[in-house]
Amino acid sequence: MAISMKLLLRLVLLLVLGLGLFAGYLALAPAPIDPVAWDPPPVPAMTGPLAPNERMAGATILAAGKIDGPEDVETDAQGRVYGGTNAGEVLRLDGDALEVFANTGGRPLGLDFAPSGALIVADAKKGLLSVSPAGEVSTLVDTVDGVRLGFTDDVAVASDGTIYFTDASDKFGFGDHMLDLLEGRPHGRLIKYDPQTKTSTVLAKDLYFANGVALSGDESFLAVNETYRYRISRHWLKGPRRARPTC
């Protein structure tokens, strides 16, 4: 049956009106991000330290298929291996035996042992945690300078017990990290925790998703991975360049 011209015009008008309303909604509705443009640097040549190699070819896979999502691994004085899971568990592998060492109730990511024997955990949902040798979980830090930790990511413990850790994003929490990428603004922090005074100090802020953190062998600087800028920044702890982050 042929459609009359009048009916066709009405359908087109309704379609245009609908599209206009939808466009207006997109323009006026609140968005979860406030994005900025960014042009990534050219891809570096895969040469020198970046050249492909076979160093992992002989690696042994431990607990294959038995642990879900270990972001980091750590070993204790007995050689037992620890790793966190998506279910909030910290598992311990002793030889071939795998057991639940603790459950943080969050998402344990970075791990490192303190001189006291406690396992320090960067938990994306719960903050900076301490797990006793008996598996008892306690919170060390969940807020710094009045800003709640949004995405506690990694941790490194110095020989004197000082704890350094990253808050990948204090705006977008675990599960929303892609929004942090899409927004393109720096929300990450590098933080120092003093277990003696139980105080926290922000060493660096405005980092682009402050992910991994590691201490140098002589503990003179920290290396911090800024995932969304494809770079590793160095934060000096000792020497003339102390407290001056460099890339």
The model's confidence at residue 207, banded by pLDDT at 50, 70 and 90, is very high
Q: Summarize pLDDT for 86-113 with one digit per residue, the tens.
A: 999 999 999 999 999 999 999 999 999 9
Q: What is the 3-state secondary structure (H, E, C) of the chain?
A: CCCCHHHHHHHHHHHHHHHHHHHHHHHHCCCCCCCCCCCCCCCCCCCHHHCCCCCCCCCCCCCCCCCCCCCCEEECCCCCEEEECCCCEEEEEECCEEEEEEECCCCEEEEEECCCCCEEEEECCCEEEEECCCCCEEEEECEECCEECCCEEEEEECCCCCEEEEECCCCCCCCCHHHHHHHCCCCEEEEEEECCCCEEEEEEEEECCEEEEEECCCCCEEEEEEHHHCEEEEEECCCCCCCCCEC
| Residue-averaged pLDDT of the chain | 92
Q: Summarize pLDDT for 132-185 with one digit per residue, the tens.
A: 999 999 999 999 999 999 999 999 999 999 999 999 999 999 999 999 999 999
The model's confidence at residue 46, banded by pLDDT at 50, 70 and 90, is very high
Q: Map out the domains of the chain as residue ranges.
A: 112-236
Q: Summarize pLDDT for 18-34 with one digit per residue, the tens.
A: 777 766 665 666 778 99
Q: Summarize pLDDT for 214-237 with one digit per residue, the tens.
A: 999 999 999 999 999 999 999 999
Class of domain 112-236: mainly beta
- pLDDT for residue 247: 55
pLDDT at 1 over 50: no
